[in-house]
Amino acid sequence: MYVIDSPIGPLGVVVEGDTVVNVRFAARPGPSGDHPALSELKSYFAGELTDFTVPFELRGGSDFERAVWAQIAAIPYGEMITYGAIATALGDPGAARAVGTACNHNPIPVIVPCHRVVGAGNKMVGFGGGIDRKRKLLELEARVALARAWG
């Protein structure tokens, strides 16, 4: 596991070859390194990267969780969607809480952007990394998206 410093605290990044298999919040100090995933994460936090290209593999999870993670992976940079909207897209409008649980089990946060999923009315609720981290990630993306839109 590599560890990088970020504006949301140290992140542990587990890779197998070129593929990211896990990202962990609040990682203990550990080895840094030279890996494309680390470079992309640093560029993301610097506001230079809006689309990750590093290969990743979402391991484990139930069929429902994997379906939620696929929906999350498709959320564009700087945008948000509600737990309920994902539940509806998956054919079960009453499953918003289950979507939240699946988001919490996302093994590759930031790269698979579960921070872009919000509560009804765009309320800032729930996040495995804590609401403060979620807010910082959304604020970073909003600043970058506005700067790019306004040139």
- Residues recognised as catalytic: 114
- The residues, ordered by sequence, that sit 6+ positions from 127 with a Cβ below 8 Å of its Cβ are 103, 104, 114, 115, 133, 134
Contact between 119 and 105 under an 8 Å Cβ cutoff? The reply is no
Report how far residue 35's alpha carbon sits from residue 16's, in angstroms, rounded to the nearest whole number: 11
Report how far residue 72's alpha carbon sits from residue 58's, in angstroms, rounded to the nearest whole number: 12
Structure-token match 């054919």, residue found: 91
